[in-house]
Amino acid sequence: VPENLCYFQGHFPSLPVLPGVAELYAIVLPRIAEVRPGLGGLRRISRLKFRRTLHPGDVLDLSLTVSGLQVDFELVRSGIACASGCLAFSATQGSSPEGAP
């Protein structure tokens, strides 16, 4: 987790914590866009769980399981699940997420 993320400003001065929504927008969604650029916009979020707080400098593993327009994710720190959920995306015109590499 980059220490200079703007999301840490004021959240909280004595113990910076990455807000849950920032976990999605700063970590999870950019990686999904890299590995599945043919997916459209985020349509639905389900089974979203934030189990542990994330702090500047945390080293995370991100696991993605893609099935068509659905992506299950899990963020893990030192073998312990910190966040997980299921994201559903819209199809983009002319894309084929099923056959994408």
Looking at residue 15, the DSSP 8-state letter turns out to be S
Cis peptide before 12 (omega within 30 of 0): yes
Q: Is residue 11 annotated as a catalytic residue, yes or no?
A: yes
Catalytic one among 1, 4, 10, 11? 11
Q: What is the dihedral of CA 52, 64, 28, 98, to 10 degrees?
A: -150
Catalytic residue annotation? 11
